[in-house]
Amino acid sequence: MRVHDDRELVSGDSVSCLRETCERRSGPIEGSDIFTGMEPLACDHKVFEHDRVHMRVDHGIFELFRRNRIIGSYRAPLNWLKVRAEARRGGLTRLHFGNVEELDEPIYASTTSSRHGLVTVEIQTTDEPLYRAFFTELAHLSDRPIAS
């Protein structure tokens, strides 16, 4: 595994990209903090691509796209994002994406619950640390915790 200056992470045959041009602003963007009362994010974009999954954050909006036969995506404000990882048999992990009930909930945590999110992505368990690293970066961006 090697890291490039543009933060592109290359691992084996698959490529995971984490391109970051986001920084926390010291001041608010006019009109953007009306509803949350929180300091807004000033992001050009942050992108994660791995295998058949593409995730991005652009100006505080999280988007998930999957390359498969079923057309579908998930889009939500970053402050609402919730991802729960469910370990499965056969070396697979399911990532369940949904919206938080409380704004201080962790972005990413493990689950054993049968209650699922709005969108589910199945990944190899060996790839889970790459995804967790991306969600940790998103947690830092949105000043939210990530469960251990």
Domains of the chain are 2-141 (2.30.29)
d(CA 120, CA 46): 21
Each residue's pLDDT, cut to its tens digit, for the chain (148 residues) gives 222 333 444 343 333 334 443 334 334 444 444 334 444 444 457 999 999 999 999 999 999 998 877 767 899 999 999 999 999 999 999 999 999 999 999 999 998 876 778 999 999 999 999 999 999 999 999 999 988 6
Distance CA 63, CA 47 (A): 10
Sign of CA dihedral 39, 117, 134, 46: negative
Single pTM value for the model: 0.71
Whole-angstrom distance, CA of residue 79 vs CA of residue 41: 10
Residue 66 and residue 94 in contact, taking contact as beta carbons nearer than 8 Å: no
Angle CA 24–28–31, to nearest 5: 130
Instruction: Give all strands of the β-sheet with 119-124 in edge-to-edge order.
Output: 108-110, 81-87, 92-99, 119-124
Strands (E) in 43-138, as ranges, are: 46-50, 53-58, 61-66, 73-77, 81-87, 92-99, 108-110, 119-124
